[in-house]
């Protein structure tokens, strides 16, 4: 008999006024009892609608049925059949718009907490299984991966399991991409990401860090080194600035720089080498996950007032619901229907405020969302000492400038087919944010997975 409670089993978390002063994980995860109770809410539907919402096709009802029986390691193995990073996805996937939005329990109540169960199972397996991945026998073929984010890591893992000699070239000194340098510790502990990377090392994947493809070596030079196919998963790490006067004042950051200093370079720790400005009044411009992360970091770095400045209404906020909810609880103030007009600064060029304008929503634009329109005479000033731009990113142009024959579009994204990641250049495959522009972890992983299968086929055909 299923558990017919219309509500999800709640997950314990740190109290808002405690957690907004530390970088430890906000949500604490289910206990075994909670996981079993929540798993019993699953109706095990025959047509598995939840799976249609998962870009990597996790066998959701099957793993949840195993959780309900208390078979947690078996449940972890079931997820691992299709997903390389369950502890990550259980924490950061936008489940409300993916698997959970198709759950029939969501019609008359709350969907089954698929993300929380995935996280529980992955954490349980990490803590209770000593099983190590084993390097498969080599098939004698070398492949290269550019970028160690979720797209590159997934592609690397799948190819290594097929027996390829896989080398990942990563520009930074740490593998993990945004999982390491962007998403904060309090949402995704870095030991968890590192553990997933260590599993790839056990499979035989080699990581070459501090290696900028396009500078250290070009894609064509990598082919010259004997790599038979190359996957480009270099992400979309180039920030977009707001484009208002005064934006080059002291105290204006891109969210990328601000978060990298805090998360990758650990500026939140005492004695960190990386300096960061401990601002008191901060406005973050934008409404996505990046904006929420920057605002919540600013609070934890000691800011007394933190604003989210967003030009549309709450309904259009693109961030995960949980992040919005947590940001509000932690004291972040949302200024909806507000657009920045000018960054104000003093005679030393230090930020003193942000001139803003009230907006109202008009007709839908090309994106289908209602267009924000300025309200005349509604200007006002927020007193601040720091402004953080979190309005989007695009791919760094280095690879497209150094790779003849690689087609890119007007947004600077690599053109690759969605099914296989095939690009215009023979032997080069691509996926993740480098192709789609800034998107999500699970979409990047799906692209890496499909490209790995296509690279295998490409190499087999070439060597027939």
Stretch that binds ligand FAD, among 78-86, 277-285, 336-344, 426-434 (CB under 6 A): 426-434
Interaction with ligand FAD in 288-317: which residues (CB under 6 A)?
289-290, 293
Q: Is 239 in the site for ligand FAD (CB under 6 A)?
A: no
Stretch that binds ligand FAD, among 72-80, 113-121, 177-185, 372-380 (CB under 6 A): 177-185
Q: Is 259 in the site for ligand FAD (CB under 6 A)?
A: yes
Report the alpha-carbon distance of residue 437 to residue 286 in Å, rounded.
Answer: 16
Stretch that binds ligand FAD, among 43-51, 53-61, 209-217, 327-335 (CB under 6 A): 209-217
Q: Which of 90, 157, 204, 235 binds ligand FAD (CB under 6 A)?
A: 235
Q: Which two tokens stand for residue 360?
A: 């109202």
Task: Classify burial at 134, counting beta carbons within 10 Å of its beta carbon; exposed 0-12, middle 13-18, buried 19 or more.
Answer: exposed
Q: Which is nearer to ligand FAD, 200 or 399 (CB)?
A: 399
For residues 420 and 450, the answer to whether their CB atoms sit within 8 Å is yes
Q: Which of 193, 432, 454, 459 binds ligand FAD (CB under 6 A)?
A: 432
Q: Which is nearer to ligand FAD, 106 or 392 (CB)?
A: 392
> What x-and-dash track marks residues 314-353 binding ligand FAD by CB under 6 A?
------x---------------------------------
Interaction with ligand FAD in 64-103: which residues (CB under 6 A)?
92-94
Q: Is 441 in the site for ligand FAD (CB under 6 A)?
A: yes
To ligand FAD, the closest distance from the beta carbon of 117 in angstroms equals 17
Q: Which residue, among 384, 432, 433, 434, has the nearest Cα to 408 in the 3D structure? A: 434
- In sequence order, which ranges of 261-397 are alpha helices (DSSP H)? 289-300, 321-329
- In sequence order, which ranges of 93-143 are alpha helices (DSSP H)? 105-108, 114-128
Q: Which of 61, 90, 237, 286 binds ligand FAD (CB under 6 A)?
A: 237
Q: Which of 53, 115, 150, 157 binds ligand FAD (CB under 6 A)?
A: 150
Write the CB contacts of 220 (distance below 8 Å, at least 6 apart in sequence).
Answer: 403, 404
Report the alpha-carbon distance of residue 85 to residue 3 in Å, rounded.
Answer: 28
Site of tokens 């994947």? 205
Site of tokens 């190359």? 230
Q: Which of 26, 75, 143, 148 binds ligand FAD (CB under 6 A)?
A: 148
Q: Which of 182, 204, 239, 340 binds ligand FAD (CB under 6 A)?
A: 182
Q: Is 398 in the site for ligand FAD (CB under 6 A)?
A: yes
To ligand FAD, the closest distance from the beta carbon of 440 in angstroms equals 3
To ligand FAD, the closest distance from the beta carbon of 306 in angstroms equals 16
Q: Is 104 in the site for ligand FAD (CB under 6 A)?
A: no
To ligand FAD, the closest distance from the beta carbon of 93 in angstroms equals 5
Report the alpha-carbon distance of residue 325 to residue 289 in Å, rounded.
Answer: 12
Report the alpha-carbon distance of residue 327 to residue 317 in Å, rounded.
Answer: 13
Q: Which two tokens stand for residue 124?
A: 């349980």
User: For 4, phi and psi rounded to 5 degrees?
Assistant: -95, 15
Q: Is 172 in the site for ligand FAD (CB under 6 A)?
A: yes
Q: Which residue, among 402, 392, 415, 409, has the nearest Cα to 212 in the 3D structure? A: 402
Q: Which of 113, 114, 183, 285 binds ligand FAD (CB under 6 A)?
A: 183
User: For 205, phi and psi rounded to 5 degrees?
Assistant: -70, 135
8-state DSSP, 263 = I
The dihedral formed by the CA atoms of 435, 439, 444 and 446, expressed in degrees to the nearest 10: -100
Q: Is 178 in the site for ligand FAD (CB under 6 A)?
A: yes
**Which DSSP helix (H) or strand (E) runs through 185?**
none
Stretch that binds ligand FAD, among 37-45, 60-68, 361-369, 428-436 (CB under 6 A): 428-436
Report the alpha-carbon distance of residue 430 to residue 151 in Å, rounded.
Answer: 9
Stretch that binds ligand FAD, among 60-68, 115-123, 337-345, 395-403 (CB under 6 A): 395-403
Stretch that binds ligand FAD, among 14-22, 191-199, 231-239, 264-272 (CB under 6 A): 231-239
- In sequence order, which ranges of 8-59 are alpha helices (DSSP H)? 16-19, 32-39, 49-52
Report the alpha-carbon distance of residue 426 to residue 446 in Å, rounded.
Answer: 22
To ligand FAD, the closest distance from the beta carbon of 409 in angstroms equals 16
Q: Which of 25, 38, 330, 433 binds ligand FAD (CB under 6 A)?
A: 433
Q: Which residue, among 183, 184, 234, 438, has the nearest Cα to 318 in the 3D structure? A: 438
Q: Which two tokens stand for residue 122?
A: 């992955």
- Residues lying near ligand FAD in the complex (CB under 6 A) are found at 92-94, 146-152, 169-172, 177-178, 182-183, 212-214, 233-235, 237, 259, 289-290, 293, 320, 396, 398-399, 432-434, 438-442, 444
């Amino acid at each position: 008999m299923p558990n017919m409670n219309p509500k999800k089993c709640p997950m314990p978390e740190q109290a808002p006024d405690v957690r907004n002063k530390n970088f430890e994980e906000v949500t604490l995860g289910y206990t075994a009892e909670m996981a079993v109770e929540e798993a019993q809410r699953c109706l095990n539907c025959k047509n598995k609608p939840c799976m249609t919402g998962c870009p990597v096709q996790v066998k959701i009802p099957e793993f949840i049925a195993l959780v309900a029986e208390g078979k947690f390691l078996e449940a972890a193995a079931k997820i691992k059949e299709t997903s390389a990073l369950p502890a990550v996805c259980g924490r950061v996937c936008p489940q409300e718009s993916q698997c959970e939005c198709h759950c029939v329990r969501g019609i008359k109540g709350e969907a089954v907490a698929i993300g929380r169960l995935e996280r529980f199972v992955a954490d349980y397996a990490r803590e209770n299984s000593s099983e190590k991945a084993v390097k498969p026998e080599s098939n004698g073929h070398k492949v290269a991966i550019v970028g160690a984010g979720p797209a590159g890591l997934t592609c690397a893992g799948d190819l290594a399991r097929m027996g390829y000699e896989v080398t990942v070239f990563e520009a930074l000194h740490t593998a993990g991409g945004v999982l390491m340098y962007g998403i904060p510790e309090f949402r995704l502990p870095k030991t968890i990401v590192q553990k997933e990377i260590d599993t790839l090392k056990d499979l035989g994947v080699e990581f070459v860090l501090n290696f900028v493809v396009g500078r250290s070596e070009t894609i064509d030079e990598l082919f010259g080194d004997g790599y038979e196919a190359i996957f480009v998963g270099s992400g979309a790490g180039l920030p977009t600035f707001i484009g208002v006067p005064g934006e080059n004042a002291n105290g204006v950051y891109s969210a990328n720089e601000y978060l990298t200093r805090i998360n990758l370079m650990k500026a939140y720790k005492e004695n960190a080498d990386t300096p960061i400005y401990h601002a008191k009044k901060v406005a973050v411009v934008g409404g996505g996950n990046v904006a929420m992360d920057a605002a919540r970091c600013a609070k934890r770095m000691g800011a007394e007032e933190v604003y989210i400045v967003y030009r549309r209404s709450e309904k259009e906020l693109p961030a995960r619901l949980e992040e919005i909810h947590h940001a509000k609880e932690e004291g972040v103030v949302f200024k909806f229907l507000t657009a920045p007009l000018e960054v104000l600064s003093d005679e030393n060029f230090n930020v003193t405020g942000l001139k803003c304008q009230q907006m109202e929503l008009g007709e839908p634009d090309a994106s289908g969302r209602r267009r924000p329109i300025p309200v005349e005479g509604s200007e006002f000033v927020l007193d601040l000492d720091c402004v953080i731009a979190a309005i989007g990113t695009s791919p760094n142009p280095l690879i497209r400038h150094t790779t003849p024959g690689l087609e890119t579009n007007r947004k600077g994204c690599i053109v690759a087919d969605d099914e296989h990641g095939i690009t215009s250049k023979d032997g080069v495959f691509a996926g993740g944010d480098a192709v789609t522009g800034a998107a999500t972890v699970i979409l990047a992983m799906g692209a890496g997975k499909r490209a790995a299968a296509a690279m295998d086929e490409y190499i087999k055909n070439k060597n027939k």
